[in-house]
Amino acid sequence: MNQKKNASASQEDLSSLSVRRRQEILDERENRKKTRIYAIVAIVVAILVAALLIWDSGLIQRNATAYKVDDYSFSVADANYYFYSQYNSYAPYGVNYGLDTSVSLKEQEFAEGQTWYDFLLESAESEMREVAFLCSQAKANGYQLSDEGKASVDSAVQSVKDVAAQSGVSASTYLNYAYGRYMTLSAYKSAVTDQVLAQEYSNYITDSYEITDEELNTYYQENSLSFDDFDYEAYVIYLGLAAEHDEEGNPLDFDPDELAAAQAELQSRAEQLKTVMETGTDEEIAAAVSEVGAGDMSGLPSSSLSYYSFGQWLADNARTSGEVGIVDQTNTDSSGEEYVSAVYVVRYNGRSLDEYYAANFYNLLIQADAIASEDTEAETQYDWETAKTEIDALQADWLANGGDADSFLAIAEENTDGSTTEYTHVAKGAQNTEVDEWLFGTEHQSGDYAVIEDSALHGYRLVYFTGYDEQLYWQYVASNAISSQRYNDWVSAAEETQVTTATSFISYVG
């Protein structure tokens, strides 16, 4: 009602004015209306420009959810952390995997029907599912990151800053290069924190498993080939047919008649050697081995036997001392048909479980420099004397400063010419010969040390022994295997019920 009165009054006011004045007022009103419209348009444009600038900065994409696992969300930055962690593990060795780092990942085939991008994204999603589950479980059960874990996160962040500084760039620039344009230092720290928490909780769970003696013994019985020492002699006789190839270098199948004749002859030679091994002397066996053209396969470590068909024959509990057997080694032709490509003639003498404790030690290596020579065909000579002088000086310095684990690490950290490593759960045969003999040739006490020449590494190693494991080595391996299986079953069962969602922002990953 009031609006109508105002409008009527306004019209009356205009009607009383001259035509010129009336037009001036109408023009003024129209200009004010246009000004308001222009102002609104300017505000809208400013908002759009700001939004575009924010979008172009990556702020929106960086924090947007790219992947969800149940209620656990991973931002674009998080997902890129896992994606590029996968990528960075392959890139340095790309040539070995068929990865060309100069070509788009989406244009390179990893496997049939799958690009490298697909493979890396699937690997990242798999890791995110496990991290989400473990972090959720940790939170639900009141598990918090340990002080050691926090220190590990801080160390990772500091390493980024240090590497960036050494490269003459900012930490953000370095992270953008290593993990994509949406990574920031805070996002990196957050992702590393989740990953360290997941790893800690994983260890917490596996360490909590109680493994019974019955479970350990069952595992041993099922995997004795990996643990037992076997006393045996084995000889291999190969099929006497030379492989032929087509113009493209592909192997051709053997002629069926020739193959049958060669296999019959192979079995005949094997039987000949078997007879001599059952009753002959060492000299007679050696002569028979030479006559049938066999190669010696005796003395392989237990850890290698599983790769050979005669390994399972040796591991069969039905074996008796002195028993000799013939074990076939098969291959397949282009049509998938199997044929005997070689035979092993094996004599079983016995087996035993080597019950020993694995070793733990610190190691400082000083390698001898190669001596320059103009003779390119001559065997390389090394300056062993200088290396020995240097390792002796380090040992003297270490002993003068306490001769314990802390002073060993301190001396090692100051020494930039050598490499220091902490070895744990070291099994027999895992180290080069000289070190292996020192570790297991005689029993040691925590604190024992020695300077050992390592011919394979062309250097000297200062070894500081810290102790043996509490479990026998085979029990340690079995416990880890059983715990790992339990853990994997637990995680797999949980992942089967997970609800995962890749949002549209997953396209900003990689």
At residue 259, the pLDDT reads 86
- Pair of tokens at residue 294: 């066999």
- pLDDT for the residue numbered 23: 59
Residue 55 contacts by C-beta under 8 Å, 6 or more apart in sequence? 61
508, 66 in Cβ contact below 8 A? Answer: yes
pLDDT, tens digit, 9 for 90 and up, residues 154-192: 999 999 999 999 999 999 999 999 998 899 999 999 999
The model carries a pTM of 0.72
| Separation CA 222–CA 156 (nearest Å) | 41
Cβ-based neighbour number of residue 52 at 10 Å:
10
The DSSP-derived string for 73-123 is EEEHHHHHHHHHHHHHHHGGGHHHHT--TTS-GGGSEEETTEEHHHHHHHH
Torsion of CA 171, 172, 176, 181, to 10 degrees: 170
- DSSP assignments along 267-295, one per residue: HHHHHHHHHHHHH--HHHHHHHHHHHT-E
DSSP 368: P
Q: How confident is residue 246, by pLDDT bands cut at 50, 70 and 90?
A: low
459 has pLDDT over 70: yes
What are the C-alpha distances in Å from 427 to residues 282, 301, 473?
Answer: 33, 12, 7
pLDDT in tens, 55-82: 344 556 778 999 999 999 999 999 999 9
Which run of H or E residues covers position 332? strand 324-332
